[in-house]
Structure 1
């Protein structure tokens, strides 16, 4: 087997190795879509509450609206953290793919750098999922407190 054929086979192996991180980027992109949708819902609700707060109301209603606005702010912070961590994770995974090819083309030993970048990407992805979990927890807590839905505990029969 000549050197060019061996080089093509080696490059094919590098491409195979790079496929898994590319699928990971696709999964992160789907997560970003979920986060964007949740942030859009929070933003829409906050705009509605802001319009309501601008009109004079009794103290109880104003207090309830301000409480819900604070809850939405906490939720938006969680989404912001999740979004930022997801994007940084995707960037590190992209860097891993790039370093795989660079290490092959320039015969550089980037093994520790590649492993470190991948570990960092996974740590950021874990942080993103934890922040998303925190946001979901805050959303369900708001529901239980009755800030989003009316009290459905009464029997309709």
Structure 2
């Protein structure tokens, strides 16, 4: 059933590697995106940790303002975590594509349909991850505002 790997020609192996190059480049891109997401998540967590003591020490309107900000940060953390999940899922599916490409070529198995379905699943997963990331960045940019009392104070000087 399995071919003798020692008799597999270098040309056959080179062809398998050529087939696997595109998904491997996709993995590099997903890795870069995961790096961006992890950095963003770390910054959100740092901001939340800085706000926690301010929230606990505040009263009245200031307390409400800090509470609102920490709720938005909590939502943003959840969104970035979801984007990371879907991106990692896309990476795992892409790894399975590469594995099946090699398996199919070395065993002469007809794995075209599973490869195509896994690749499509990978594209859907990374697309969902990008979309969630878009929502998170929009939420972050909408909520980062300079308070009016600070702007008015600077205008008086």
Shared fold (TM-score, shorter chain, > 0.5): yes
Of the candidates 31, 43, 46, which is equivalent to residue 44 of structure 1? 46
Q: Distance in 2 between matches of 1:99 and 1:21?
A: 12
The answer on 1:83 being equivalent to 2:87 is no
Q: What displacement does 1:24 show?
A: 0.5
Q: How many residues align?
A: 149
Find out whether 1:15 has 2:17 as its counterpart. Answer: yes
Q: TM-score, normalised by structure 1?
A: 0.87
2:59 is equivalent to residue 33 of structure 1: no
Residue 64 to residue 26, structure 1, CA distance change in 2 (3 Å): same
The runs of 4+ residues in structure 1 deviating greater than 2 Å are 4-8, 154-157
How much does 1:136 deviate?
Answer: 0.4
**Which structure 2 segments of 5+ residues have no match?**
1-5
Report the alpha carbon displacement of residue 155 of structure 1 after superposing the two structures with TM. 6.0
Q: 1:13 to 1:155 in 2, by over 3 A?
A: farther
Deviation at 1:11, TM superposition (A): 2.0
Give the Cα separation in 2 of the matches to 1:30 and 1:119: 20
| 1:132 paired to 2:133 | yes
Q: Which runs of 5+ in 1 are unaligned?
A: none
Q: TM (normalized to structure 2)?
A: 0.87
1:71-102: CA deviations, max 9, x gaps?
Answer: 10111111011000000100000110000000
Which runs of structure 2 are paired with 1:51-130 in the superposition (5 Å)? 51-55=53-57, 57-130=58-131
Residues 22 and 60 of structure 1, relative CA distance in 2, 3 Å threshold: same
In 2 relative to 1, CA 109–33 (structure 1 residues): closer, same or farther, beyond 3 Å?
same
